[in-house]
Each structure stands twice: as C-alpha cells, then as structure tokens.
Chains A and B, each alone.
Chain A
Amino acid sequence: MNEHVLSMHDLTAEDVTRILDIAGSFREVGTRVIKKVPALRGRTVVNFFLEDSTRTRISFELAAKRLSADVINFSAGGSSVAKGESLKDTALTLQAMGADAIVIRHSSSGSPLQLTRWVDAHVLNAGDGTHEHPTQALLDLYTIREKLGRLDGLRVAIVGDVLHSRVARSLSFGLVQMGADVTLVGPPTLIPPDAQAWGVQVSYDLDAVLPKLDVCYVLRVQRERQRLEYFPSIREYARLFGVTRERVGLLPEGALIMHPGPMNRGVEIDSDVADLPRSVIEEQVTNGIAIRMALLYLLLGAGERVPA
C-alpha cells in the first residue's frame, strides 16, 4: 500500500483486493452492539472538508471513531480558510496539531496531491473537484463484489454526467484495473474528450446498452449543467438518459442499480427504481464505513493483522 490514498491509479489490483478483504472484516464490526475496536487508539484523524459533504464526512468520522482514533472535523465555513488562509498554511497548522491522517474534500482537482508535498501526514482523498473520489470507488467495488461475487469480466455502465464526475473517474479506473468491461453512457457533451484512453467504451444510446449489463451505475446530474448548455432541459435529459421504470425492464435479471448519492429522484433515476430490491444504494452507504476503516487501518495501523 502507498502512503496516501489519492487516486485509483495508485492502487494495483492486489491492493484493491486486499482493501476489499480487510473491509469485509470490518463490515462485521458494524453489526456488533459495541461497534468499536481499539486499533487506532491515540492516533488523530482530521476531516478537512473544504466543500460541503454529508455522507462522506460522516462516513469517515464513523470509520475513524470505530477504530478508536481521535477525530477532528474541520470545515471551511467560519474557519481560517474563510478568513483567507491558504490551503498550505491551513494544512501546516493541522500538521502542527499532530494530525496523523488528513482526509481532504476540496473543490479543486489535484489539491490532495498538492497537500502531500506540504505535510508529513497520510492524505486520503475524499473527493477533489472533478478529478477522483477513490474511497467511493472502493466502496462501490466492494458492494459489486459482495453482490455478484466477482469484478473480473462484469459489464458495467456508468450513466450520466461523466465529464464533471469524480466518482465516474475513480470507478472507471478501478473497474478497468479489476478486469471489468466499462461503458460510459450520456449525452456527448457530458462525456470527457478522449475518455476511451481510460480503457472504456462510450455509448450515447442507453437502451442499447442496458440489456447487456451486470451493473447500471447512475450518476447525479446537476441542474445547473442545463444552464451551461450541456443539454436542452431536465425533461429531455430524463427522456434520453434517465433510468426509468420502463428502462429497468431492459436490464437482465439480477443486474444491480447503483447511485453514489445524493439522488435527484425523477431526473437521472425514477423514484420507483431507486426503491427496487435490485437497487443497492443504501448498502453502498453502509459499506462505505467499512472501506474507510480498512484504509485508515492500513495507513495508520501498527500491524498487518486485522483485529478480531
């Protein structure tokens, strides 16, 4: 394992398998009445969130607490950052206070990598701009492997605003690394130029793709993209690329529907679809805690043995 978790590109297939296996052990901890192990007692984890986040921040906080680490939550509003302090100075301050790991969420792509040049602490990328969100990808890989038993050879479509999605990047890189067959689907304006270089396929026809899938991964579509001329209207987007009840009928039996949240029900996914048994959206959230425990444990834990 590397010193930091910045990009899925930094992880080998062996690294990913190991992280998922360790997360499996930690998954059990969350089912206990006392949901805590002493693995990281005395270590300090800072949640350094400079962009709004609910589920990722809470998930990291719970993960660190279940490992008995001390957790500090730092968000931009009302902080030194709001007073104009630079990212570097703020990071150096966190370091001076003894942070062993810094979990960073930032609207600027590349900021977690920049952070590693300024601090000695382990850096975990909790989402940087439109670049990557590796812990989301790992929890998605975990969920898929748990439900379908494997990753290699699976056919996965990632549907929606891939251009602006850090989730889509990390998940594409991770799935390709694990041998899955990935197709990006969306309006051509929202598919990154040269995305084929990632080792994925691109399609603009959701109906043609759906019958061949093991996983349909639906991305959030932000309403402001319409204002910026990426597509004509939410109505037309939903008509062409929304995962509707009718479209779900095109999916093979047993295929999963996933979404990283937060959902826009009625836009990229119908409300009925989100609540179907084959939608594993809530399980994704639960698995996120185990994945983040595994990563914190691997980076900060003293030994290799997973505590029972």
Chain B
Amino acid sequence: MSARLVFAEVRVVDPAAGTDEVRDVVIADGVVAGPEAAEGAERIDARGLVLAPGLVDLHAHLREPGEEHKETVETGTRAAAAGGYTAIAAMANTHPVTDHAAIVHEVRDLARACGLCEVFPVGAITKGLEGESLAEMGEMVEAGVRMFSDDGHCVPSARLLRNALLYAKAFPAEIVLAEHAEDPTLVQGGQMHEGPHASTLGLAGRPAEAEEIVVARDLALAAATGGRLHLCHISAARSVGLIRRAKAEGVRVSAEVTPHHLTFTDADLVTYDTNRKMHPPLRSEEDREALRDGLADGTIDAVATDHAPHAVEEKEAEFDRAPPGTIGLETALAVVLTEVVATGGVPLPRALDAMSTAPARILGASDHGGPIEVGRPANLVVFDPEEDWTVEPPFASKARNSAFLGRRLTGRVRYTVLEGSLTVAEGKPTR
C-alpha cells in the first residue's frame, strides 16, 4: 500500500548527497518524487523534524529460525522499523546456522512477508559456526549474501580466515568478511572488561588485548590477501588506533561500534546488571573516548546495534550464567543523538552517515542510505530531535533486555518509510 505522501518543510539531512536543508520531500509509487506529485498527496507537517535516509544496521540477531522464544523475524523487524531502520543484517547464529542458501531464503522471505524492514541475511564463514571448515559461500552469494560472519565467535585460526579472505575474492560482487574480534583463549570464562572493577566485583576478565590481538592479526591478513574485512563491535582504544593506521596504509577494512559501547563503561557493571553484560565487554572511560573519536573521524565507519534479544528468564539469572547482549534497534538513534551528537562529539550529518549511508555501502544495500533524490527508492526515517523519553517496556521487540532501561534519551522516531510505505507513523508501527 504505497501511499502518496509529502513531508512538508522538513529538515533533510542527506549524508550521501552531503546536504542539510529545509524543504518538502514527496513520496509516490515507492520512490522519492518531484513536486508535481505533491498534489492530492497526504501532507504531513514536519516542521522541526529531521528526515534522513532510513537507518541501516550491520549487526542484528533476529533469532529465527530456532530461538523464536527470544525474537522472531516479525518482532525483530518491527523493532527495527520502530527504531527508524529500513535495512538490517541478520546474523548467522540461528538454529540451524545460516551456513547454506535455504536459511538465507527462509529469513529473507519471512521478512518480505512482514513488510517492516528489508533483511540481509549474513552467512556463516565456517560450517555450523564451528571454526573448522569453510561454509559453502558460493551458494549463499548466489542467494544474495554479501556479508559473512561467525559473529559470537572469533574465527579461531589465522589460516582459516586467510583462506576465507582469499576465497571470497572469487566472486564478482564485493564480499565482506565480518569478524567478532576476541581471542578465545584470553576470554575463556570472562564476564566483563578486565580492570579494577572486575577485580573488585570478583568477575573474571575479558582483557582489551584479546580484541587488539585479533584486530592486528586480521588487519595483517587483509593486507596480505587484499581481502575485504569488517570488524564488528570494536570496543578497545588500541583497536581504534590499529584500524586508523591500517586504513592510512590502504588496507580494505571497515569497522563498527555499538551505541552501548559509546555510552557505558565497566563502571556501569557495579550492580551486576545482566543487561550490561556484553561480548566484547563495556570497557574503560579511555576506551569509550577513543571509540567516540574514532566514530567522529571516520576510523569507525558505522554504528551497529548488535541487537541481541534474550528471554526474561535467561537474563534474570546469575551474572556468569546470563547470556551476553542487549537489544538496541529501538534505542540506537536516540542513544547516538543523546550521547554522541548532543555532547558535541560527532556532528549530526556524520552520525546519520554512520547509521545509514556508510553501513548501506558496506552491506551492498544499494536501495538504502540515500541519496534522497527523485526516482530513488523511498527508504527514509523522520525523527523529532527534541523529544525526551524514558526507555521502558513495552518494546516492539519480543525481548526487553535493554542496557538502557530507565535512561532518559532525547530524539525519537516519528515516521519510517520502507519502499514508499509507512512502517511507522506518529511514532507507532503501522502493522
């Protein structure tokens, strides 16, 4: 039901076009249209609101198939729409694992039937995410997969990742290998960032060097093979430095950071809040500052949610038994606006670039991320940059394990437009 709409007198921030101006945006027949299509269209007074390319998430866990008690494609994409997303990458740690084309088709078809957000399934690098042998990437590439990851696990052997980076060069489309960078031998049993807080709380550490070692290893492999590497949820200051240097040397690498790593530190774990247990963990103040700087200067390309829904009973457990992760799709934009933009760390156009244009490019999602030009698919978000709200259930997600529960945020999604249709109107999902 593609409607004809006009967002009137809206501030259009278009990172792909490099523009920031107040104008009308007309939508007709699923695409951005010229002013002639405005006649007879529904007119939405959007003064004071910001319109941008629909957000794109490189890193979401939708849990279907296999763990539908945590989240489904339907609830996950509804959460995405509510958060202003029009495209998300769905991680491969489903059951069965997304290591063959059938699951790719299944997940994408489920998402299309819901019509809430376009889903790009991520394929596993290794069969069963077991880190032993390469998954059949070819059939997944044919099914449209552009990003592969064993997320949740680090590719354990340098040899295996080297071969994956080389092998992926066989395909005409650019294939991105996304790494969860944590050395498994250094994080075994670890519950939080190693440091003074872990020592006092009696929780085993996941040291920063566990990430730095794998980042350095992977950058060396990407440089040597010419393969295309993406580093997931970077959390440590020295990792940012390594990536910055590799980019200057021309290594084909991109990186992402999560809203929670931009916001919290290990000091926020003193209440043993299992919603703040993460892999990689929330680190020190110094690390958080380096992440903000890396996002500002483009060393870190994208903000990705690592949306990780879990059932209430799974998180209401002892800290060392609770699974890691927080939901994030519905809060990411507001967190970035509040914690990174309003604090003066990152200008709004760069923040929106990191949440839409840059990840769309990394994912190969060419219909997303702008530019907002006549004839382009109408995948858009419209938000109120001034609205204050408190993070609390109910969520559109099936889960409510948010690290941000109770937090005051500024900035809220009012409309999300997917292929010309409103998936969110007046702040509420339309379906």
- A-side residues, CB < 8 A to B, are 86-88, 106, 108-111, 113-114, 128-132, 166, 169, 192-195, 197-198
Shortest Cβ gap from B333 to chain A (Å):
30
Shortest 7 CB-CB contacts between residues of A and residues of B: A131-B202, A110-B272, A108-B318, A192-B199, A194-B196, A109-B202, A130-B202
- State whether A86 and B313 are in contact (beta carbons under 8 Å apart), knowing that A110-B318, A110-B319 are contacts in the complex: yes
With A110-B272, A110-B318 already in contact, the answer to whether A197 and B202 are too (CB < 8 A) is no
**26 pairs of residues in contact across A and B, judged by CB atoms under 8 Å:** A86-B313, A86-B317, A87-B318, A88-B316, A109-B191, A109-B201, A109-B202, A109-B272, A109-B320, A110-B202, A110-B203, A110-B319, A113-B271, A113-B272, A114-B318, A114-B319, A128-B202, A129-B202, A129-B320, A130-B203, A132-B202, A169-B200, A193-B198, A193-B199, A193-B205, A195-B199
In addition to A86-B316, A108-B320, A193-B199, 6 A-B residue pairs with Cβ atoms within 8 Å of each other are A88-B316, A108-B319, A110-B272, A111-B319, A113-B272, A193-B198
> Whole-angstrom distance between the alpha carbons of A131 and B318 in the complex?
13
Residue of A nearest to B195 (CB): A194
Task: Please measure, in the bound complex, the distance between the C-alpha atom of A301 and the C-alpha atom of B155, giving whole angstroms.
Answer: 58
Which one, B199, B204, B318, contacts A194 given CB within 8 A? B199
- Majority SS of interface residues in chain B? loop
> Could you tell me if A197 and B272 are in contact, using CB atoms closer than 8 angstroms?
no
| Residue B353 CB within 8 A of the other chain | no
Q: How far is the CA of A114 from the CA of B271 in the complex (A)?
A: 8
**Judging by beta carbons under 8 Å apart, are A87 and B317 in contact?**
yes
What's the least CB distance linking A293 to chain B, in Å? Answer: 26
Residue pair A197, B200 in contact (C-beta under 8 Å): yes
* A161 CB to nearest chain B CB (Å): 13
Picked from A106, A131, A198, the residue with its CB within 8 Å of the CB of B201 is: A131
Docked complex: B181-204 residues within 8 A CB-CB of A: 191, 194-196, 198-204
B residues at A contact (CB < 8 Å): 191, 194-196, 198-205, 271-272, 313, 316-321
Contacts of A87 in B (CB 8 A): 317-318
Q: Give the residue name and chain of the A residue nearest to B274 (CB).
A: A114
B317 CB contacts on chain A under 8 angstroms? 86-88
Of all chain B residues, the one with the shortest Cβ separation from A114 is B272
Please, how many angstroms separate the alpha-carbon atoms of A131 and B320 in the complex? Answer: 12
CB closest chain-A residue, reference B313: A86
A196 to chain B, nearest CB (A): 9
Shortest Cβ distance from residue B276 to the other chain A in the assembled complex, whole angstroms: 12
Residue of A with least CB distance to B320: A108
Bound CA span A193–B266, Å? 14
Contacts of A111 in B (CB 8 A): 318-319
Question: A109–B320 Cα gap in the complex (Å)?
Answer: 8
Q: How far is the CA of A113 from the CA of B195 in the complex (A)?
A: 21
Q: What's the Cα separation between A193 and B317 when bound, in Å?
A: 26
CA distance A131 to B205 in the complex (A): 13
From residue A110, how far is it (CB to closest CB) to chain B in Å? 3
Interfacial chain A residues near B205, Cβ < 8 Å: 193
| Interchain CB contact under 8 A, A130 and B204 | yes
The reply to whether B196 and A197 form a contact with Cβ atoms under 8 Å apart is: yes
Given A86-B316, A114-B272, A194-B195, decide whether A108 and B200 contact each other with a Cβ distance below 8 A.
Answer: no
In the complex, chain B residues whose CB is within 8 Å of the CB of A132 = 202
- A113 / chain B contacts, CB cutoff of 8 Å: 271-272
Task: Judge whether A193 and B318 touch: CB under 8 Å.
Answer: no
Question: How many Å from the CB of A200 to the closest CB on chain B?
Answer: 11
How far apart sit A110 and B197, CA to CA, in the bound complex (Å)? 13
Q: Nearest-CB distance from A197 to chain B (Å)? A: 4
- Chain A residues near B318: list those with CB within 8 A: 87, 106, 108, 110-111, 114
A191 (CB) vs chain B CBs: closest residue: B199
Which residue of chain B has the shortest Cβ distance to A194 in the bound complex?
B196
A194 vs B198: C-alpha distance in the bound complex, in angstroms?
9
B354 to chain A, nearest CB (A): 32
- The residue that B194 contacts in the complex, of A128, A131, A169, A193, with Cβ under 8 A, is A193
- A109 and B200 CA atoms in complex are apart in Å by 10
Q: Which B residues lie within 8 Å of A109 (CB)?
A: 191, 201-203, 272, 319-320
A267 to B204, CA, bound (A): 25
- Given A108-B318, A113-B272: A169 touches B202 (CB 8 Å cut-off): yes
Q: How far is the CA of A192 from the CA of B196 in the complex (A)?
A: 8
Q: Are A193 and B195 in contact (CB under 8 A)?
A: yes
Q: How far is the CB of A143 from chain B (nearest CB, A)?
A: 23
A88's nearest neighbour on chain B, judged by CB, is B316
Q: Chain B residues near A128 (CB, 8 Å)? A: 202
CB distance from B35 to the nearest CB of A (A): 57
Inter-chain CA distance A87–B313, complex, in Å, is 10
* Chain A residue contacts of B199, Cβ below 8 A: 192-195, 197-198
Residues of B within 8 A of A88 (CB): 316-317
CB distance from A274 to the nearest CB of B (A): 27
Question: Complex formed: what's the CA distance from A106 to B317 in Å?
Answer: 12
A82-B200 Cα distance, complex, nearest whole Å: 30
Please measure, in the bound complex, the distance between the C-alpha atom of A131 and the C-alpha atom of B197, giving whole angstroms: 11
* A195 nearest CB neighbor, chain B only: B199
Measured between beta carbons, the chain B residues less than 8 angstroms from A166 are 202
CB neighbours (8 Å) of A129 from chain B are 202-203, 320
Tell me the minimal C-beta distance from B205 to chain A in angstroms: 7
Distance in angstroms between the alpha carbons of A87 and B321 in the assembled complex: 11
A177 CB, nearest partner CB in chain B, Å: 14
